[in-house]
Amino acid sequence: MPPQPLLKVCGMARADNLAAVVALRPDFLGFIFYPKSGRYMGRTLSPAALAQVPPAIRKVGVFVDAPVDEVLARVAEFGLNLVQLHGAESPATCAALRAVGVAVVKAFSVGETFDLARLTPYLGNVDYFLFDTQGRQPGGNGTAFDWGLLAGYNLPVPYFLAGGLDLTHAAALRNLRLPGLFALDLNSRFETAPGVKDTERLRQFFTELRT
């Protein structure tokens, strides 16, 4: 695990805002390919825009129950480094993507409780897990869950922590020592509108976590 969690900014949807967030040097940038999302980037960001992202920043495509062929087409078109599967995708779907060299993040929704046994079928079929707060939408609901539910995590797959992370959580997250914690996923709480990130709030969060 890294000494401090890596940082992912998810839900990028505008070229000018993308350039401003790239300047902050996150470790990952997330792009949502789910048309029902308010942060859907299909009409606003081109492959040429994503091509301007430096190689050191890994590009993550977020999909919800999309066919494997569609996911692979978007990986090739937009130069994605990882795919994040945020629906009810099976272990077999994850394995099919990994079999052709695509790194997979499988997301799980966490409510008041969470059964870690749900993850067992995915072992060996994913590169990372992502834990998000259960809500009306597959992601980006803006609320946090009880991180203590992950205190007993003992699996060999590192994970992204998502779900309403905010600038007010910065100090607690900097000192958070959960087993398996690999990266923090920032989205709706750092926006001025869906898909438009508040770069000043992000800068403050990055500074708090990285110093």
Instruction: Give tens-digit pLDDT for 71-107.
Output: 999 999 999 999 999 999 999 999 999 999 999 999 9
pLDDT on residue 79: 98
**pLDDT at site 136:** 61
CA 58/CA 71 separation, integer angstroms: 17
What H or E segment, with its residue span, contains residue 61? strand 58-63
Q: How confident is the model at residue 128 (pLDDT cuts 50, 70, 90)?
A: very high
Alpha-carbon span 89 to 34, nearest angstrom: 14
**Choice between 28 and 133, residue whose per-residue pLDDT is larger:** 28
**Cα–Cα distance, 96 to 76 (Å, whole number):** 16
pLDDT at 160: 98
Q: What are phi and psi of 190, to 5 degrees?
A: -120, 40
Instruction: Compute φ and ψ for 204, nearest 5 degrees.
Output: -60, -40
Average pLDDT over residues 114-122: 94
Q: Which residue has the tokens 């299909």?
A: 42
| pLDDT score recorded for residue 148 | 92
Query: Which percentage of the chain shows pLDDT scores above 70?
Result: 96
More confident residue, 5 or 141: 5
Q: What is the pLDDT of residues 34-64, one digit of tens each?
A: 999 999 998 899 999 999 999 999 999 999 9
Q: How confident is the model at residue 134 (pLDDT cuts 50, 70, 90)?
A: confident
3-state secondary structure of 6: strand
Q: Residue 122 — very low, low, confident or very high, per pLDDT cuts 50/70/90?
A: very high
Give the pair of three-digit tokens for residue 19. Answer: 């350039």
pLDDT at 141 over 80: no
Asked which of 132-146, 158-172, 191-205 is least confident by mean pLDDT, the reply is: 132-146
pTM over 0.85: yes
Q: State how far the alpha carbon of 133 is from the alpha carbons of 6, 136, 182, in Å.
A: 19, 10, 17
Q: Is the pLDDT of residue 135 over 70?
A: no
pLDDT value of residue 35:
95
- pLDDT category of residue 22 using cuts at 50, 70 and 90: very high
Tell me the CATH number for domain 6-210: 3.20.20.70
Mean pLDDT on 181-190: 96
CA 30 – CA 28 distance, rounded (Å) = 7
Residue for token digits 């690999």? 182
Contact 61, 84 (CB under 8 A): yes
